[in-house]
Amino acid sequence: MGNLDLTFFDWSVIGPFVLKGFYFSIWLTVVATVGGIILGTMLALMRLSGIKWLEWPATLYVNVMRSIPLVMVLLWFFLLIPFAIGRPLGAETSAVITFIAFEAAYFSEIVRAGIQSIPRGQVFAGRSLGMTYGQNMQLVILPQAFRNMLPVFLTQTIILFQDTSLVYAIGAYDMLKGFETAGKNLGRPVEAYLLAAVVYFFMCLGLSYIVKRIQTKVAIIR
């Protein structure tokens, strides 16, 4: 412990290196969450539609994405898409596309489970009122399902935020990269990674506490 330079933990010293990456990590988390939920909901509805030509591609997509490490998917999108379209996308753009595509598979399973948790009586009630499949989902099933799924959505978002550190593999400048850059420039790499671990820990701990509070309120509403 005596070799640690505690002056490194001065935010005024490391802030300029870390803030840029912090903003990107937060932005990537938000965009990937919103995009992943939208695409994931579409995939879930396709899987539950009972129409084979919709169900099979969605099932294949979800199973493939859930079977491959995220870092591999990052490298595929970063290297293969520019090769296919004939121009580079950039590390940040590749990260956004990858995270939306990857997280959609996980959000799809959450949405599918949430829809299936709604009693079938709700579906039959909507049909008896003359609602179409789409109207029933939009007005009756999904609002209830999303309320039940909110804590799980937020938990997956915390995991997503932790996973943003993997964009280092394609050279994107995220929060971890900011700490690493600060450590290299200031000559204190050990302190940089130690502080990064502490920041990630407390951010995720705080978010987990918020999720528990929301889960309690949702349980009371039920």
Place of tokens 């595929």: 76
Locate 105 and state its tokens: 């598979």
Model confidence pLDDT, tens digit, residues 61-111: 999 999 999 999 999 888 888 777 777 788 899 999 999 999 999 999 999
pTM of the model: 0.87
Q: Which residue has the tokens 């918020």?
A: 210
Question: Could you state, in order of their start, the residue ranges of all structural domains in the chain?
Answer: 22-173
Cα distances (angstroms) measured from residue 147 to each of 122, 218, 222: 15, 7, 10
pLDDT in tens, 3-43: 666 666 667 778 888 999 999 999 999 999 999 999 999 99
How many Å apart are CA 118 and CA 136, to the nearest integer?
12
Q: What percent of the chain has pLDDT above 90?
A: 42
Superfamily of domain 22-173: MetI-like (1.10.3720.10)
Percent of the chain with pLDDT over 70: 93
